[in-house]
């Protein structure tokens, strides 16, 4: 009777733990928004605030370009002055009226402005740099979303494997416990089976938490209000070409930065050129005085030549050269790194493909061993320890297969990113 009560208690506890694990995961799967790989990448690019921040950088650069361009274009201004003073009279005539208003429009026309023209071109380069930066940020967000998506699938595979291992361990425990209650088996075998089942329950909980964390990360990247679930592994089309580094947005960005810095340095000599500006200023005075006309005007041509600046322009040119050289070094290092990433990614794809194939075969063989060992144990031809060892090995081998599949998908993604083919 005591054995029967212990067995029933164990069965109830095992069933309760199983429900605690399965119910949250079922509810979680039903309540989450599920996206395909393409939908997740599209949503991340459209909704992630980091890309919106990069877009504001383009707007800022265009605004600066507009400001700089205005300095080399004609300008028209208007000033009005009202003066109240003590009247000055000469005889019966008013020399200075009590209230006098003067209207002065000003028209300025830059005739020769090499510095302003150079700054206008340089500001235009910064617009292009901002656009390239926005594309690079877009790529980074897409890659982060893709990695989070793959993490959900991989962790779900591990969760499924642990769940299946727990189910097998529970079945084995139920059988071992029945044998023990029937007086055929031993309590030691039942305890070993129960221990294995509870250990698998722990692994299921850990795997479930990892899935939830990955779903939360994907939800943040796609701009959702909560966690987002993934559907299944995507299929990547791996190109055969060697790939051009110029297809990568990070390389394009550093090339535009180098081109912009080269223009700034090349325009340094223009700082020493003269400038020529024309200014026309008419004036309307009402009421006029004795010695002042109602309408008058003045035209000016302002010619300025920088002669001596105590080394200011030389220092600016040296600083621009240093900035240009720094970007050149950055580009050279980035190109070497990019070429290495392509070679490494191709080797990784080849290696992980072979590893995944072998892991699948090993998983199939391990499952066959579990089946054979379990049948042998039920027939009395093997021990409880052999069954538990076979189950553990099968779980470990299947986990390695899931890890190998995830590694293959990540290697394929890394190759597409290295070739500049992701996102499209």
Measured CA to CA, the distance from residue 224 to residue 32 in angstroms comes to 11
What is each CA distance from 267 to 71, 117, 264, 273, 315, in whole angstroms? 17, 10, 5, 11, 14
When comparing pLDDT for 172 and 336, which is higher? 336
CATH topology of domain 2-418: Outer membrane efflux proteins (OEP) (1.20.1600)
Question: What are the domain boundaries of the chain?
Answer: 2-418
Confidence of residue 28 (pLDDT cuts 50, 70, 90): very low
When comparing pLDDT for 29 and 352, which is higher? 352
Per-residue pLDDT, averaged over 109-120, amounts to: 94
pTM of the model: 0.81
**Segment (H or E) for 14:** helix 2-31
| CA count, 13 A, side-chain hemisphere, 191 | 4
In this structure, of 168-182, 194-208, 332-346, the range with the lowest mean pLDDT score is 168-182
Give the largest Cα separation in the chain, rounded: 141
Please give the structure tokens belonging to residue 4. 């029967």
Q: What is the chain's alpha carbon radius of gyration, rounded to the nearest angstrom?
A: 39
Percent of the chain with pLDDT over 70: 90
C-alpha 38: how far from chain center:
16
Measured CA to CA, the distance from residue 226 to residue 306 in angstroms comes to 62
Query: Which residues contact residue 61 at a Cβ distance below 8 angstroms, ignoring those fewer than 6 apart?
Result: 123, 126, 127, 129, 130
- The per-residue pLDDT for 254 is 97
């Amino acid at each position: 009777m005591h054995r029967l009560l212990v067995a029933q208690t164990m069965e109830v506890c095992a069933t309760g733990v199983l429900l605690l694990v399965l119910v949250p995961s079922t509810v979680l799967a039903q309540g989450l928004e599920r996206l395909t790989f393409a939908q997740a990448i599209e949503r991340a690019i459209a909704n992630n605030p980091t890309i919106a921040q990069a877009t504001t950088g383009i707007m800022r650069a265009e605004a600066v370009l507009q400001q700089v361009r205005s300095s080399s274009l004609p300008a028209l201004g208007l000033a009005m002055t009202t003066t109240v003073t003590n009247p000055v009279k000469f005889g019966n005539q008013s020399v200075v009226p009590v209230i006098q208003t003067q209207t002065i429009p000003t028209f300025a026309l830059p005739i020769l402005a090499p510095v302003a023209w150079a700054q206008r071109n340089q500001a235009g380069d910064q617009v292009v740099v901002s656009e390239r930066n926005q594309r690079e940020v877009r790529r980074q967000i897409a890659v982060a979303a893709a990695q989070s998506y793959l993490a959900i699938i991989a962790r779900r595979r591990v969760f499924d494997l642990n769940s299946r291992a727990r189910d097998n361990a529970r079945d084995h425990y139920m059988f071992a416990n029945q044998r023990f209650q029937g007086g055929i088996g031993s309590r030691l075998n039942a305890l070993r089976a129960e221990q294995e089942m509870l250990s698998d329950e722990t692994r299921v909980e850990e795997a479930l938490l990892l899935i939830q964390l990955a779903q939360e990360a994907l939800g943040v990247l796609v701009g959702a209000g909560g966690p987002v679930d993934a559907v299944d592994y995507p299929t990547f089309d791996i190109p055969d070409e060697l790939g051009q580094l110029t297809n990568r947005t990070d390389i394009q960005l550093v090339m535009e930065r180098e081109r912009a810095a080269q223009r700034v340095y090349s325009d340094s000599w223009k700082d020493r050129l003269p400038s020529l500006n024309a200014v026309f200023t008419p004036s309307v005075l009402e009421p006029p005085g004795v010695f002042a006309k109602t309408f008058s005007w003045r035209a000016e041509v302002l010619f300025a030549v920088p002669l001596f600046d105590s080394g200011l322009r030389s220092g600016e040119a040296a600083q621009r050269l240093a900035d240009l050289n720094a970007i050149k070094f950055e580009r050279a290092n980035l190109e070497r790194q990019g070429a290495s990433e392509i070679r490494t990614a191709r080797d990784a794809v080849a290696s992980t493909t072979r590893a995944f194939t072998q892991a699948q075969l090993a998983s199939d063989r391990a499952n066959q061993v579990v089946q054979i060992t379990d049948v042998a144990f039920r027939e009395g031809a093997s021990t409880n320890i052999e069954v538990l060892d076979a189950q553990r090995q099968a779980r470990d081998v299947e986990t390695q297969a899931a890890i190998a599949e995830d590694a293959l998908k990540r290697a394929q993604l890394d190759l597409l990113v290295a070739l500049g083919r992701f996102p499209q």
